Amino acid sequence: MNIETITLPKYTWKTPILEHIERYARDRFIPVLLEDTANFLIHCLKQYNPQSILEIGTAIGYSGTIMLQTCPTATLTTMELEQDSYDIAKQHFQEFGVLDKVHQYLGDAYIVLQQLAQQQKKFDFIFLDGPKGQYIKYLPLLEKLLKKGGILFADNVLFKHMVDGPEFVPHKKRTIVVNLRKYLNEIVTQPTWQSHIYAIGDGVAVSQKIKE
């Protein structure tokens, strides 16, 4: 597995609403996007300027707000399993003034992705940050939903370096680690994708769809 490093410009992006969401998450021990990963996500968004974004894992709307702040003309389709997080994210989108650009789905991501694929929806950019052990299961649907030339940005793919390092993998984490390794192998070896894996945050895989 080839893990790359990259030097990025440092973007200024922490607006008051994002700082508010950060504080909300920190006070309640809710994990949100790591700062280095957010900076890299912004870099990719600025590079590709997507107009339609799909997000798997809304949580409380932190990453979605970052993406819409970076791409103010884009629309965001996002899905979340937990009702409380869905409601909080909706409130945050409203406070940021982007609710009219957001299509929120409440439910299991795999079912929602199936529905979007059946509707023949297509997206320029996909941000994958849902259950890590499900990435490989989602991949065929994500391939259908992504336009040719589009970008699949997957977070946490090294999973605390259990995926690429010598660290002991606890039994309850083994399925996640095995499935993440399958996901990385698929995006690196299949001709559909041109992929790079970066040692940023908890590991990021950026894949461009180069074939239908």
Task: Give the start-end residues of each E strand in the chain.
Answer: 3-4, 52-56, 75-80, 102-106, 123-128, 146-155, 193-198, 204-209
Identify the structural domains of the chain with CATH numbers, from first to last.
34-209 (3.40.50.150)
Can you give the pTM of this predicted structure? 0.96
Residue 47: which pLDDT band, with cuts at 50, 70 and 90? very high
Q: Are 207 and 126 in contact (CB under 8 A)?
A: no
pLDDT digits (tens, 9 = 90+) for 128-176: 999 999 999 999 999 999 999 999 999 999 998 899 887 778 899 999 9
Q: What's the angle, vertex CA 32, arms to CA 31 and CA 35, rounded to 5? A: 125
What is the C-alpha to C-alpha distance for residues 161 and 9, in angstroms, rounded to an integer?
A: 25
